[in-house]
Amino acid sequence: MSLSLQEIIDLEDLRELMRFFYEAAGISVGVMDADHNWLVSIGWQPICTNFHRVNPESRQNCLLSESRIEEYLDSKQEYLTYPCPNGLIEVAIPILLGGAPLGFFFLGQFLHHPPDRDYFRRQAIVYGFDMDSYLQTLERVPVVSQKRIDYLMKFFVRFFDLLTRIGSENQQRRQAELEIQEAKEQLENRVAERTSELNRALLEVGDLAAQLNESLQQVELLAVTDTLTETYNRRKFDETILHEHQRAEHGKIPFSVIMLDIDHFKRVNDEFGHSTGDQVLKHLSRLIRGLVRQGDLLIRWGGEEFLILLPGTLISEAGPFAERIRLEVEQEQFAEDGSITISLGVAQLREGDSTDTLLKRVDDALYRAKQEGRNRVVLQSPLH
């Protein structure tokens, strides 16, 4: 007897299970039947629902991936990782019963590595997407390691194999009850055994989801951390500055930025070597981390240049704070190089500022500090 996926699996139960997995792991899931109809579709990324599947040209890439999935998978493969033509990664497994395909399970719309923003910028231009909105949705795409995906898919291969076998056996049991009453008890025992296996599998999913969530949090932290100094990196700044702009626009809550640079840092590298230079950068970042408040953001901007984002802070407060940092650094003894000095520029967000204009003004202030002799703080007036 030929059975469909809908006949052997309770779709409401399956949707609830998939929703639980998505809420715990943050990875989109879907189940498609043999006729390419979506039965379950949970957690689709906005970059797909709001962009790729809306534009007629990029939507063709989505349909191409779905229509060719049977070509990608054969009976010798448990699952397949394949890149969507729109730039994301998806994983698929066939849902089989007795070797016959009933449908496909998808885990998808993620990346193995931080996104190539230039690639997606070009894609936005080609398809006419709004650049800022498109790149913002790109930031929501999860980054998941290949190892973690392999582990998940091995589980789901076993899970759907168990689920389809249980569903099929339920169908056989109902047919057998009509044919012979004596087989009823035996079939019910077999179903009870399979149900127990399924319950154990669900418990494993819960444990796995918790572990996956913890791992994803660690990956997310690593993605916004500078590996040398253990301060935040530019990606964290890009995420936070949008939030601070919104607070400033809606609540008139000001914020200021300090940009600082080590004076004559090239001399440290030239005289003592780059390894010593790295130790100086680590020492400096530890010192400044001990001075900034909770909620302030210390970012390695590049090379020996650092940025401090001060939420809810006027320049009248940020200036003295910058001077305190300058004095602390001047008085600190660096085992690697004796003593160093820094130059600092300070600017406050003003009405009409974009992130670029704010950074330009604080960079100009830092440049003036260096031109005026270094080891000093220069404030960029918020009114000019």
Helix (H) or strand (E) holding 351: none
**Residue 221 pLDDT:** 57
**Residue 358 pLDDT:** 94
Between these two residues, 307 and 194, which has the higher pLDDT value?
Answer: 307
Strands of 305-311's sheet, edge to edge? 297-302, 305-311, 255-262, 342-348, 377-380
pLDDT band per the 50, 70, 90 thresholds, residue 219: low
Q: For 49-61, how does the pLDDT look when each residue is reduced to its tens digit (9 = 90+)?
A: 999 999 999 998 8
Between these two residues, 315 and 173, which has the higher pLDDT value?
Answer: 315
Between these two residues, 69 and 7, which has the higher pLDDT value?
Answer: 7
Which residues are registered as beta bridge partners of 342? Answer: 262
**Residue 134 pLDDT:** 94
Residues 6+ apart with CB under 8 A from 109: 27, 28, 43, 44, 45, 47, 48, 84, 88, 89, 90, 141
Q: CA-CA distances (angstroms) from residue 251 to 111, 238, 246? A: 35, 20, 8
What stretch(es) of the chain map to CATH 3.30.70.270? 234-380
Q: Which CATH number fits domain 234-380: 3.40.50.620, 3.30.1490.100, 3.30.70.270, 1.10.150.120?
A: 3.30.70.270
pLDDT at 101 over 60: yes
CB 344 within 8 A of CB 306: no
Average pLDDT of the chain is 87
**Residue 200 pLDDT:** 82
pLDDT at 184 over 90: no
pLDDT at 336 over 90: no
The C-alpha R_g of the chain, in whole angstroms, comes to 28
List the catalytic residues: 304
Per the structure block, which two tokens stand in for 223?
């993605």
Read off φ and ψ for residue 255, nearest 5 degrees: -150, 155
pLDDT at 80 over 90: no
The vertex-224 CA angle with 222 and 228, nearest 5°, equals 70
Give CA–CA dist 26/298, Å, rounded: 28
pLDDT band per the 50, 70, 90 thresholds, residue 382: low
**Residue 72 pLDDT:** 61
**Residue 314 pLDDT:** 94
Between these two residues, 207 and 62, which has the higher pLDDT value?
Answer: 62
CB 76 within 8 A of CB 69: no
pTM over 0.85: no
Q: What is the mean pLDDT of residues 193-217?
A: 72
Beta strands in 183-312 (DSSP E): 255-262, 297-302, 305-311
Q: For 340-378, how does the pLDDT look when each residue is reduced to its tens digit (9 = 90+)?
A: 999 999 999 998 889 999 999 999 999 999 999 999 999
Per the structure block, which two tokens stand in for 296?
């302030």
Per the structure block, which two tokens stand in for 308?
């401090």
pLDDT at 241 over 70: yes
Per the structure block, which two tokens stand in for 367?
């440049």
Q: What is the mean pLDDT of residues 309-321?
A: 95
Q: For 19-68, how does the pLDDT look when each residue is reduced to its tens digit (9 = 90+)?
A: 999 998 899 999 988 888 889 999 999 999 999 999 999 998 888 777 76
CB 40 within 8 A of CB 11: yes
Q: What is the mean pLDDT of residues 146-156?
A: 90
CB 338 within 8 A of CB 348: no
Between these two residues, 208 and 383, which has the higher pLDDT value?
Answer: 208
CB 283 within 8 A of CB 336: yes
pLDDT at 232 over 70: yes
Which residues are registered as beta bridge partners of 379? Answer: 346
**Residue 100 pLDDT:** 80
Q: For 111-147, how does the pLDDT look when each residue is reduced to its tens digit (9 = 90+)?
A: 999 999 999 999 999 999 999 999 999 999 999 999 9
Q: Among the listed ranges 88-92, 218-222, 290-294, 329-333, which one has the minimum average pLDDT value?
A: 218-222
Read off φ and ψ for residue 92, nearest 5 degrees: -135, 145
> Which of 316, 372, 317, 312 has its CA nearest to residue 343?
372
Give CA–CA dist 357/53, Å, rounded: 35
Give CA–CA dist 304/261, Å, rounded: 6
Give CA–CA dist 185/165, Å, rounded: 18
